[in-house]
Structure 1
Amino acid sequence: MITTGLLLAAGQGSRLRAVTPFKPLCPVAGRALIDHALDGMAAAGLTRAIVSLGYGADAIAAHLAGRQWPLEVVTVMTDYHQPNGVSALAARALIGPQGAVLAMCDHLVQPRHYRRLARAGAGDGLRLGIDRRLGHAWVDPLDVTCVATRGDGIVAIGKGLEPHDCYDTGIFAVSQRFFEVLATLDSPSLTEGVRLLAAEGSAKIVDCSDLDWLDVDDAPAFAHAEGWMTKLAA
């Protein structure tokens, strides 16, 4: 089982700026998004989390330093103007041969989502948690990353992809091979990394259609998140 998490928390979060200046610190049901993620990783059995910081790094680092965490938390710095693959590559040297559970800080999930990917492992490239519930009310069809699969393999991925048969939930198990592939790209994004691994047959899926998740990227998604987390805490 993978025991290291990699949390990407470097983006500007401009569509949530009316709610919070720094998206990872956005309070959802009384807790910052980054707290939900780190506590969830710990509950899933991960023992270390590497957090990639960029926009608002000082404020987020101060927040991280302000409490005791149930797992080891390490931060790395990245250029938030660059694609998200650069944020992942910033942590490459800290990822062991076992790989990591890679997650977006703004993707709100339950601990068992992380645990499922950690137990599945990265294989020879990566495994991506997917959701086959097309048209789910919580999913923004204009923003969600769509995936086309054949068997347990990914054959295509991208926003606006047609045809597609599932959604990218934003939670991965990634190996060192994933970082090797990202490093070959001039403008490395996670999606491009997945495409390259899919071409060599080493991008696989883990079905997470039974697990709720939410990309907290704008005000409507924030409202959904508030209702969901408040209900779970009740």
Structure 2
Amino acid sequence: MQAVVLAAGQGTRMAPLTDNTPKPMLPVAGRPLAAHVADAAVDAGADELVFVVGYEADDVRSYFGGSYRGVSVTYAVQSEQAGTADALRAASDELEGAFAVLNGDNLYDSAEIERLFADGPALGTYEVPDPSNYGVVSINDGSIAEIVEKPDDPPTDQINAGAYVFPSKAREWVAVSESERGEYEITDILARVIDDYDVTPVAFDRWMDVGHPWELLEANELLLEGIDRDVSGTVSDAADLRGTVVVEDGATIEPGVVIEGPVYVAAGAEIGPNAYLRGSTYLGEDVHVGNGVEIKNSVIRAGSAVPHLSYVGDSVVGLDVNFGAGTKVANLRHDEADVRVTVKGERVSTGRRKMGVVTGDDIKTGINTSIEPGVVLSSGTRIEPGERVSRDR
């Protein structure tokens, strides 16, 4: 089974994390989102991966190369952001026979993808409490009848989970499936398949659409639960590592450090004396955490530094960020209401009581900076010493 992985989206809802990184390459539990998708496909029996790339395509190519876990990898370039089926059209020359399509920014369970592969033509579905903001799946006599986008009165509580198996015939419909908006959508192709085939709904129990910064935290929390302890780096005898902790080869843990897993420390990271790391935290390559720093339930991306006497909780920190000494990130509102974050210019509830800061890349804060819950800092931001940051910058 060929598996097409859609990895060309710019991820505007993830900004500023996606300023310099395509969304499928954002890190979760030590590897990019797209790598977790590829793992699910390979474990399910895919014999070839076809990545559709666009924005920052070199990031995807450099990570996966021409082979991944012994499975051939090819690439198709989507020249324009004109809908999901346009991405599939870019891959059509690489396809032979029946094929699968998986979103590069969703998390799937490999056993459920294996069932999807076996039951094709098929569509993965997932039950949600409120399906009105999704493509809702209508099922008739055990087959997919249609997908209704964001209906006021959802026919079921099952949504489209962005996982498909199409028959070979579907390749002929890729170029002619056009929506009223002028965009090519995979659901338009699926509608053609439904007309000619019985499409099996495959209910997923474990699935996540990682579309917002706080969902990157949730994905990290979910996947770190399943990691195995592996301490390969240099760890002082005077450090205390509790529970499930990964310290990659090349990472350094100094005396007095306490780590309460699940925590993942990537190669080249340095954790200074008396730092305190709590789950679920991921520290990327070459991250520096200094003396007396506490980090809890956060993703700190490669090259960033939290050097001295700072606190960072429930946050996503971009590339090459430096927090000045004494920088404190608040992650809980005084009224304990859900924290709101700006997404594409609108304040949106995260559904989380605890949410700290979301930063772009190359940011510097001065000493004794205070950052309030839900603040978003754009790439390149500079904050003066002693500032209280209560609004996005």
Please indicate the TM-score interval, normalised by the length of the shorter structure.
0.7 to 0.9
Query: Could you tell me which of 143, 147, 153 is aligned with 2:137?
Result: 147
2:197 equivalent to 1:202: yes
2:78 equivalent to 1:78: yes
4+ residue runs over 6 A deviation: none
Distance 1:224 1:184, change over 3 A: same
- The 3-state SS of whatever aligns with 1:232 is coil
Q: What does 1:1-234 align with in structure 2 at a 5 Å threshold?
A: 3-20=1-18, 21-65=21-65, 68-97=68-97, 99-122=98-121, 127-131=122-126, 133-135=127-129, 141-142=132-133, 144-161=134-151, 162-165=153-156, 166-186=158-178, 187-198=183-194, 200-202=195-197, 204-209=199-204, 211-234=205-228
- The 3-state SS of whatever aligns with 2:60 is helix
- d(CA) in 1 for partners of 2:129, 2:161: 14
Contact 2:120 2:200 in 1 (8 A): no
Cα deviation for residue 30 of structure 1 reads 1.2
Distance 1:74 1:214, change over 3 A: same
AA at the equivalent of 1:9: A
* TM value normalised by structure 1: 0.85
- The 3-state SS of whatever aligns with 1:50 is strand
AA at the equivalent of 1:11: G
Contact 1:12 1:80 in 2 (8 A): no
Contact 1:11 1:80 in 2 (8 A): no
AA at the equivalent of 2:192: L
- d(CA) in 1 for partners of 2:223, 2:66: 23
- d(CA) in 2 for partners of 1:86, 1:226: 30
Distance 1:96 1:68, change over 3 A: closer
- The 3-state SS of whatever aligns with 2:226 is helix
AA at the equivalent of 1:8: L
- The 3-state SS of whatever aligns with 2:218 is helix
- The 3-state SS of whatever aligns with 1:19 is coil
Distance 1:10 1:135, change over 3 A: same
Contact 1:9 1:54 in 2 (8 A): yes
- d(CA) in 2 for partners of 1:80, 1:23: 16
- d(CA) in 2 for partners of 1:155, 1:37: 27
- d(CA) in 1 for partners of 2:148, 2:16: 28
CA RMSD of aligned residues (A): 2.1
Contact 2:116 2:202 in 1 (8 A): no
Write out per-residue CA displacement over residues 188-230 of structure 1, whole angstroms, 9 at most, x where no aligned residue.
Answer: 21111222333x2525133324x20001111222121111101
Contact 1:49 1:73 in 2 (8 A): yes
AA at the equivalent of 1:164: P
- d(CA) in 2 for partners of 1:134, 1:29: 25
- d(CA) in 2 for partners of 1:100, 1:66: 19
Contact 1:118 1:173 in 2 (8 A): yes
- Name the count of aligned residue pairs: 220
Cα deviation for residue 179 of structure 1 reads 2.3
- d(CA) in 1 for partners of 2:3, 2:91: 10
- d(CA) in 2 for partners of 1:35, 1:173: 20
- d(CA) in 2 for partners of 1:130, 1:173: 12
- d(CA) in 1 for partners of 2:198, 2:209: 22
- d(CA) in 1 for partners of 2:116, 2:17: 31
- d(CA) in 2 for partners of 1:29, 1:222: 10
Cα deviation for residue 141 of structure 1 reads 5.0
